[in-house]
Structures are given as C-alpha cells and as structure tokens.
C-alpha cells in the first residue's frame, strides 16, 4: 500500500511540475504611457541569433495574434508606435532521478539486536530536458527606448512535434502577453 501511495505521489509531483514549468518574467518603463501605443513594426535585434525561418514565422504569428487582442495593429512603414523584436535561446539540462526500493533504512542496531541485512536497491536514471527561452522587447519608436520586456522559459522544444511546438508557443505567448500593457498604480 505504501508503494502504491508513493507512486501516486510521484506521478502527481511530475504532473504538477510539467503543468507549472514555464517561468514568466517581465519588466517595463514606469514612465512610459502605454495608452499611446496603437501600432507596431517587427525589427531585428542586433547581435541576436535568429532561429530557422519556420520557427521565426511561428513566433511572429503567435505574438501577432496576442498583440491583435491587445488592440495593436501591425504596420510595415516607419510610422509604427512600437518596434518589437525577439530573441530565442535553446539549450539542454540534465536531470537525474533516483528511486530507493527499500524502506529508507539500512542495516543497523535497533532496540536490542541487529536489524536487517540490507536496505533496498537504489536505481537512477538521467534524462535530457530541452529548454527554450523567448524574450520579447518593445521599444518606443519616438524615444528609441526600451519600454517593455517579457521573457518566458521552457517554451521552445526542438525535439517536439510541430503541432505540440505551436501549441506550447501559443500558450506561453498568451501567458506572457497577459502582462501587457502593464497596469499603472
């Protein structure tokens, strides 16, 4: 019975970690008037390594959809209120998971005599976790200053199937863009 409850607890932990795994952060210029921003234009950030063309189109389409819901319109000319650029970073992390099949106690003295001949068996496994981070920068075109920056991690997985990648990207940009425009207090 204890093993069964341990397995269920472990499964619940793994499920909750995967559900809440994305890290979302943002920052903004408190002196900026976000009500004046109505249009935007895509720009490339100098020094940023662009992803492949397909991923670039997916990222821009996902962000475009979110910005449209915020009331912003995309323009091609230089008359945009905001210049928007993004950067991506992809990497890997190693994860080590171990499990002890015993009671957690090894042999030793217990009470008046020797207890046990051995604990359980500890097994381990390593796995690779792909991490992808997306950073979105918004610049005031008139002042040439950064006014908003959002970063979401664990967004881009190069090993995921295309549908899963797009779904994860759309979900993470929606979470990130909930913070735009920032609320003034």
Q: Would you tell me how many other CB atoms lie within 10 Å of the CB of residue 74?
A: 15
Report how far residue 179's alpha carbon sits from residue 171's, in angstroms, rounded to the nearest whole number: 14
Provide the pLDDT for residue 73: 95
**Residue in this structure with the two tokens 């217990």, named with its chain if needed:** 110
Helix (H, G, I), strand (E, B) or coil at 76: coil
pTM (2 d.p.): 0.67
Could you report the per-residue pLDDT of 110-126, keeping only the tens digit for each? Answer: 556 555 555 555 556 56
H or E element: which one contains 18?
A: helix 2-19
Using 50, 70 and 90 to split pLDDT, how confident is the model at 162? confident
Question: What average pLDDT does the structure give for the chain?
Answer: 75
Kindly report, residue by residue over 60-114, the tens digit of the pLDDT.
999 999 999 999 999 988 889 999 999 888 765 565 655 544 554 555 555 565 5
CA distance 124 to 118: 18
Q: Please, how many CA atoms are within 13 Å of residue 27, restricted to the half-sphere of its CB?
A: 2
Point out the least confidently predicted range of 49-58, 90-99, 154-163: 90-99
pLDDT at position 169: 87
Give the CA angle between residues 39, 43, 44 to the nearest 5°.
Answer: 160
- What tokens does 79 get? 């008359």
Q: What was the pLDDT predicted at 131?
A: 64
Closest CA to 181 of 80, 32, 63: 32
């Amino acid at each position: 019975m204890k093993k069964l409850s341990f397995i269920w607890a472990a499964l619940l932990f793994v499920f909750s970690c995967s559900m809440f795994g994305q890290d979302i952060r943002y920052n903004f210029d408190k002196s900026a008037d976000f009500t004046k921003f109505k249009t935007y234009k895509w720009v490339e950030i100098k020094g940023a390594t662009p992803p492949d063309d397909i991923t670039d189109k997916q990222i821009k389409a996902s962000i475009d959809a979110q910005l449209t819901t915020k009331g912003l319109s995309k323009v091609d000319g230089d008359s945009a209120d905001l210049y928007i650029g993004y950067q991506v970073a992809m990497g890997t992390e190693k994860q080590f998971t171990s499990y002890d099949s015993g009671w957690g106690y090894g042999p030793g003295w217990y009470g008046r005599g020797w207890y046990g001949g051995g604990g359980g068996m500890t097994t381990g496994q390593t796995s690779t976790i792909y991490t992808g981070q997306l950073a979105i920068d918004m610049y005031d075109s008139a002042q040439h200053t950064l006014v908003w920056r959002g970063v979401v991690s664990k967004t881009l997985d190069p090993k995921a199937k295309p549908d899963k990648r797009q779904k994860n990207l759309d979900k993470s940009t929606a979470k990130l863009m909930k913070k735009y425009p920032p609320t003034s207090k």
